[in-house]
Chain A
Amino acid sequence: MSTHSEKAAAFIKDEARTNWHDGALWHVREKRDAAASLLPEWELLRNTASHIKDNVLANLDDYLIQFEAEAKKNGVVVHWAKDGKEHNQIVGQILQRSNAKKVVKSKSMLTEECKLNDFLEENDIEIIDTDLGERIIQMRKEEPSHVVLPAIHIKKEEVGELFHKELGTEEGNSDPTYLTKAARTHLRQRFFEADAAITGVNFGIAETGGVVVCTNEGNADMGCHSAAVQIHSMGIEKLLPKAEHLGVFTRLLARSATGQPTTIYTSHFQKPQKGKEMHIVIVDNGRSEQLGKEDFRNSLKCIRCGACMNTCPIYRRSGGHSYHATIPGPIGAILSPNRDLKKYSDLPFASTLCGSCSDVCPVKIDIHEQLYKWRQEIYKHHELPKSKSIPLRITGKIFENPSIFNSVGKIARSSLKHLPRFMVYNNLNGWGKQRELPEVPEYSFKEWYKKQKDE
């Protein structure tokens, strides 16, 4: 398995594409800023959202029990899954029992996390992703590269080519309107044929036992209302205590995600349709364990808006796939090590620790601080790669001893100036890759300071 930096290196080989990716995401970040600045109480909203989530995490077991009881009263079937495997089995059983062969899914990062599509396909169930971006990457047999903009890394010409092959659109036509219309026709047919529909959940309401799903395309509704069986997969942390708390979160979600004042559709599913089935699968998959880690539990407040990705200087230039995890970017880099410290030990280092992610987070997760804390955990568990652990050990020794520090500084200043290029710019010096090192100053700061004082 290659690491983030290796995958990122492959991504940035195409400089024009890297710049395009960077610009597209920054544009979304700017839209978010414009939307946020229109609300004078924006910071109060963020604080309030964070406090509500504190309360939710502190009472999560009680809220889940209340949620389950209310949902059952509404005629909803509630299931519990400790991990992705159990989630898939439960979904598989529901589909089997209702003899469902064709399933439509609207975007859900949780089902991606559980690898539901692979599981269903192995069991001869056709599953169609219906969010346009997700459909595109499903046809390309890829995973999403962003939580809100799953196909942000793909050019329209590539979609044109893909749709020509898969949907029979005109060759060479890559007009987004034309392609979207083709997808609309293709997907409408799938909705009406579907036996069952699966969605993720943006918010579950303990007070009412219902779930809220937010989309711009209306695909979650097309699916759920057309099929005989609807299934909602929900992480345990998605709960809100009462309906009134939706006011806070629906105001923050779309503004943070894309700069829209709201998603076009905010759907509240409470009870099954007459003669049909509604299921909710409550999934843990490592979340209750994360809850026990004081330093990292705040990450469970995440509402998956993607704002931290759009603002991250590393994400924008390295692409979502370089994170080799379902949730990429800054938030993914603090969620993934919880699941597998060894496998994801590179991710907390895919950050400049500039803090921009924490600044835009609508629920005020201390993302960059958690990244820093994960780095220390990784060091403690000896999961640092040698390229980092050896230099860190050496610099540690140098910083411990002032006389060594002074002389090393002197040597570095003179050698960087006088050594031939190949001895400075080689594989041992990661900082010299793709960039020129800054010019070496005449004196160290200490020497300069002494000189100033003497004068």
Chain B
Amino acid sequence: MSRADILEAIKKNKPQSLSLPDLSVFQHEISPEILVADFIKTSTGNMSNVVDLTTSEVDLSVFLEEFIAENFPKATKFYDTRSSGKEIPENVDFQENIDLFIAEPKLGVAENGCLWLDEGILKHRVAPFACQHTLMVIDHHNIVPTMHQAYQILNINETGYGVFIAGPSKTADIEQSLVIGAQGAVSNTVILI
């Protein structure tokens, strides 16, 4: 049986054990202003559209309504996972083009623009990939400096699936030319509140 054979071979061949290194060396204390600035820079670099509302005093729901009407005028089908959004039905046909996916990620990462969504938020795992555009609303208090802090805070095993999304789908597979919207969402908007 292969399982026993493989484990036996490893046992015979493995080197002497070494202890795991200390990860606390990667702790960074970074001021909230710099975190926000870094997050905007990396997200923009990943080709996300970023709207910074951290210092403005607009009513978010009013703002979003106007923003969506202005930026996605043709959007008719929405997949809104926010608590204020509409109830998501059990069966959604993702083959029909869904125009806009809206979510509130649990956490953002300043060093690379990653935003964490898990199955609890998503309802349907395929949603942020199958929808044409994604719109993420993230509270700037939930931005951490690096991936180390992100994994400290998250419990990746909390649901069956979780994903860091850092921008729209992209590829450079044809002669290294960057093309946005390769397979998943063709645009990603981040609203920073």
Contact = CB atoms under 8 A, between A and B. Distances in A.
B173 A58 contact: no
Contacts of B176: 24, 27-28, 149, 152
B36 interface: no
Given A216-B182, A261-B46, A221 B157 contact: no
Contacts of B150: 247
B158 to A, nearest CB: 9
A266 interface: yes
B110 to A, nearest CB: 10
Interface stretch (B54-62, B70-78, B98-106, B124-132): B124-132
B157 A219 contact: no
Contact of A180 (B20, B42, B174): B174
Interface in A156-182: 156, 159, 176-177, 179-181
Interface string A202-235: 0001001110000011110110111000000000
A210 B174 contact: no
B161 A262 contact: no
B14 A247 contact: no
A183 B10 CA distance: 43
Interface residues of A, number: 95
B10 A266 contact: no
Contact of B2 (A130, A208, A262, A284): A284
Contacts, number: 264
Contact of B6 (A57, A80, A176): A80
Contacts of A65: 7
A267 interface: yes
B146 A294 contact: no
A222 B172 CA distance: 19
* Number of chain B interface residues as a range: 35 or more
B82 interface: no
B84 interface: no
A133 B168 CA distance: 18
Contacts of A247: 23, 26, 146-152
Contacts of A188: 183
Closest 4 CB pairs of A and B: A218-B184, A292-B13, A271-B160, A225-B126
14 contacts: A132-B171, A192-B95, A216-B182, A217-B182, A217-B183, A222-B126, A243-B157, A250-B147, A254-B112, A265-B165, A268-B163, A270-B157, A271-B161, A291-B13
Interface of A: 24, 27-28, 39, 41, 44-45, 47-48, 51-52, 54-55, 57-61, 64-65, 74, 80-82, 86, 130-133, 136, 149-152, 154-156, 159, 176-177, 179-181, 183-184, 187-188, 192, 205, 208-210, 216-219, 221-222, 224-226, 236, 241, 243-248, 250-251, 254, 258, 260-273, 282, 284, 288-289, 291-292, 294, 297
